[in-house]
């Protein structure tokens, strides 16, 4: 079974988004980028709130993974 750390996945998403060519972005695209960076910061922060957000994101990912089977 393959496991992936959610924080590592978000770092990869941020890296890929930074590598894209600069072009006009929609408000939805900007909001998504801000949300990804915010969640990454919370996941990396060693606080109880960060850990609770990590648990919620992990449950969401596990639910999506189970739904895809």
pLDDT in tens, 7-53: 777 778 888 877 777 676 788 887 887 888 888 777 777 777 778 87
Helices and strands (H and E) in the chain: how many: 3, 0
pLDDT at 68: 79
Backbone angles phi, psi at 46, to 5 degrees: -85, 55
Distance of CA 11 to the CA centre of its chain: 8
């Amino acid at each position: 079974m393959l496991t992936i750390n959610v924080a590592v996945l978000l770092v990869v998403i941020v890296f890929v988004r930074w590598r894209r060519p600069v072009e006009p972005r929609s408000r939805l695209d900007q909001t998504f980028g801000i949300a990804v960076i915010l969640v990454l910061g919370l996941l990396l922060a060693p606080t109880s709130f960060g850990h609770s957000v990590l648990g919620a994101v992990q449950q969401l990912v596990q639910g999506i993974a189970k739904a895809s089977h």
